[in-house]
Amino acid sequence: MTPEPFGARLRRAMDTRGPLCVGIDPHASLLADWGLSDDIAGLERFTRVVVEALADRVAVLKPQSAFFERFGSRGIAVLERAVADSREAGALVLMDAKRGDIGSTMAAYAATYLDPASPLFSDAVTVSPYLGYGSLRPALDLARESGTGVFVLALTSNPEGAEVQHAVRTGGASVAATMLDHLRAENAAENATGAMGSYGAVVGATLGDTLGAAGADLTIGGPLLAPGIGAQGATAADLPKVFGAAVRDVVPNVSRGVLRHGPDVAALRTSAARFADEVREAVDASGPGAR
């Protein structure tokens, strides 16, 4: 059987669980805030609590691979368990790996996260297109085959990103706008059936008016992962202003804003539910004209 595309599964998860992605970011300072040691035991405890608290209720969980990789093979084993347990509980798992390479190496990265036979098989992965959008083809094609998704870095929230993403190509389009154009074309087949596409972009919720400077048309027919809600300063109320007609396709990402309430399971759940409600209210208030 042909697997159900990621875009359709994501839309259903957002409609039923609320439009929110929560990061799993076990960096050293957060482990310390939880009273945990910065070692494999602390990593295991932190990850287990987040998955227990949220995997059965949020739409998307987004582990940051680097914070597991720093512990070597034992950290990767914790990540494998987190992915499997989260998906079993009903959350979609977006692996935040930001991989980008060419040829067989990119194909290997794609297989790591998007091949159902892999121990790290996830519902979607973040990728970097700055070796050229075409270099992502192994991941894009495997995603279509396996019913998974790909989120391409387009307009990131870090200020350094502008020197590449806002750069203007021959013909006048910015690099970011070019990436969004590619994704729009990638999503066309799924959009033709009335579904949201499975090929998304990463666009910072904190960017505000700078999106116009990049000539960015965010209506790509696919999801927009929007980091920056909470600790980075953006709020749910900012989303309609930043994303306009594409606001209903936004998947706001919150990490520290939720995780700082741990290790109390009830507090983590309450915080995630509050963010999801705030996003839903802001999107609903934007009116039927939004996508």
The residues annotated as belonging to the active site are 98
* Structure-block tokens of residue 22: 């929560």
Torsion of the alpha carbons at 103, 109, 110 and 111, rounded to the nearest 10: 110
Q: Which residue has the tokens 């295991």?
A: 44
**Local structure of residue 229 (DSSP, 8 states):** B
Look at residue 203 and give its three-state secondary structure: strand
Q: Which residue has the tokens 């998947």?
A: 251
Neighbours of 152 (CB within 10 A): 25
* Structure-block tokens of residue 251: 């998947």
Alpha helix locations (H) across the chain?
6-17, 28-33, 40-54, 65-69, 72-88, 103-114, 137-146, 162-165, 175-191, 210-213, 239-243, 256-259, 265-285
Which of 200, 245, 256 is closest to 225 using CA atoms? 200
Residue pair 247/286 in contact (Cβ under 8 Å)? The answer is yes
CA distance 190 to 173: 25
Q: Which pairing describes strands 149-155 and 92-99: parallel, antiparallel, or unpaired?
A: unpaired
Neighbours of 171 (CB within 10 A): 6
**Amino acid at residue number 161:** G
